[in-house]
Amino acid sequence: MMKVEVVSKESIKSSCPTPHHLKFFNLSFLDQLAPPIYANAVLYYCQNENAKKIADTDVHRSVMKKSLAETLIKFYPLAGKIIDDKFMVDCNDEGADYIETKVSNCQLSQLIQHPNVHELVKKFIPSDPYSTGTSPKKVPLLVQVNFFEDCGGIVIGLRISHKLADAASLTTFVNDWATVARGIATDDHDRQIEGPSFEWQSLFPPRDLMGFIPTTLIEGDEVLVTKKFVFGASKLAELRAKSIIVKESDDVPDQYQPTRVEVLSAFLWKCFIDIDQAKNKGGAQLKVYLATHTVNMRSRMVPSLPTNSFGNVLGISAASIIMNNEGTVKNDQYSHPDLVGKIRDSIKKVDADYVREIRTTDAQLDAFKLLSENCASGLALMLNFSSWCRFPIYEADFGWGKPTWVSTGELAMKNMVMLMDTSSGDGIEAWIHLGTEDMAKFERHEELLALILN
C-alpha cells in the first residue's frame, strides 16, 4: 500500500527582499469577486529512459528550494499575506509554504494508471487551509514536492489562492519556476525569466462589493466528491461532427465547427440536467439551468494583454435554458447541438465590449449577485466550467524533462467541471465535482458511459 510520509515543512522566502515601494499589492475588482478557494495543479514526472536522469534527492531538494526562492523575487505577492478586508496582499516576504514528502511502496507510472487516481491525488497536494474548519491561514502559495523512493519519480503539487490568480497565472508561475530550476540544475545561469505583468490590477481597481460575499456553493455539511472522466480524440470528433452549427447570414448558410471544449461542455451539461430532471420530476415550478464558463480575457481585450498578465483576468459567460415540471424546454430546444450553440454564443459575448462594460459599470457584480440569489432560492441550478485546455502546463521542465501527466486535484466548488488536456494532447479529461448522490447518478448516465474511455 502506498505510503506518503512528510519529511519537512518550512517557508521558502524570496532570495531578495521585496522593495519598500512594492510592500502592498492591491487586488483587482475581479480578484475580489473570485471565490475563497485555492486553484491547484499536480505535475507528475516519471523516471524513464526517455527523460533525463533525475538528480539524487539531496541535490534536487536544494535545486527546488533555491529556484523557488529566486522565482519569488518577481512573483513577490506569492510570498506575502492576504489581507481580505483591505483587498490587498502584505508583501512581507514571509514566504510560501513548502512541504517535502517521501513516497514508498508505489511506482509512479503505475499510480498514474490507477482507476481511482482521482482519489489518490489529494495526498500529493498541501492541505487546503479553507477546509480545516478554522480561520484559514492567508498564504497565497503552498507547494508540496513528493519524492518516490522506489522509482525515482517526482510529483509536484501546488495550491495558489484564487484571490490572486487564475489558471493562466498559475501556469505562468509554474513555467517560470521550472525555467529557473532548469538553469540551476544544468548550471546554465543565463536562463532568465520575464516574470509576471501586474498591469491588470490598475485596470480594475478594488470596489465596494455592496455586501456581496463570494461563495463556493457548498450547502452545510453536504458531502462532495471529485471524479475524473476521460474523453478520447475519436469520441470528441464524433461529438463535433454531430454538433455543426448552421446559421443563416445574409441568406447564406454559415457553418461553424464548434471547439472540443464547447461540444464536451454541452454534453456534460445535458447529462447534468438529465439527472436533476429525473430527481425532481413533478416539481411545481419552472427551473433555470445555467452553464457558466470562466473565459480568459487576455486576448479578447483591445489592446490585448500579454499572456503573463497576473491575476483573475477572467470574464464569466452564462448559457441558460428554462424547463417546466414535465421536462419540456420553454420556448426552446433541448438537443446537444442546441446546447452547443447556447454555450458558443455565451462565450462569444466575452469580447472587448464586455470588458469595457465591466470596467465602467457594476454589470459583473450585478450578474454575480443575481446568479447567487437564484441558485440559493432553488430557481436556478448552475454547472460551472473552467478549461485549462491549450495552456502550456505540459512545458514545465524542471531539468529532467517535461511532465508525464498533469492533473488538477480535489475541486473546492460544488457543481464544478475542470477540463484539462490528456498527456497526448488530443483528448480531454473532465474532473467533475458533485454531491455524492448526484455523482452516483451522473456516472451511470447511459450517454456518458457510451462516450468515456474504459
Residues with catalytic roles: 162, 397
Question: In this structure, which amino acid lies at residue 106?
Answer: C
Question: In this structure, which amino acid lies at residue 430?
Answer: A
Residues contacting residue 270 through CB under 8 Å, at least 6 positions apart: 334, 336, 339, 447
Please tell me the distance from the alpha carbon of residue 236 to that of residue 259, in angstroms, as a whole number.
Answer: 9
Which neighbouring-strand residues pair with 249?
252
Q: Which residue has the cell 466575452?
A: 350
Question: No. of H helices and E strands in the chain?
Answer: 13, 17
Supply the DSSP symbol for 20. Answer: G
Please tell me the distance from the alpha carbon of residue 293 to that of residue 386, in angstroms, as a whole number.
Answer: 6
Query: Where are the extended beta strands (E) located within 196-275?
Result: 224-231, 245-249, 252-256
Please tell me the distance from the alpha carbon of residue 254 to that of residue 244, in angstroms, as a whole number.
Answer: 10
Grid cell listed for 165? 490568480
Q: Is 245 helix (H, G, I), strand (E, B) or coil?
A: strand
Q: Of how many residues is the chain composed?
A: 454
CA distances to 68, 86, 155, 400, 403 from 51, in Å: 22, 46, 15, 6, 9
Question: In this structure, which amino acid lies at residue 378?
Answer: G
| Burial (CB count <10 Å: 0-12, 13-18, 19+), residue 112 | middle
Please tell me the distance from the alpha carbon of residue 373 to that of residue 413, in angstroms, as a whole number.
Answer: 17
Please tell me the distance from the alpha carbon of residue 201 to that of residue 49, in angstroms, as a whole number.
Answer: 45
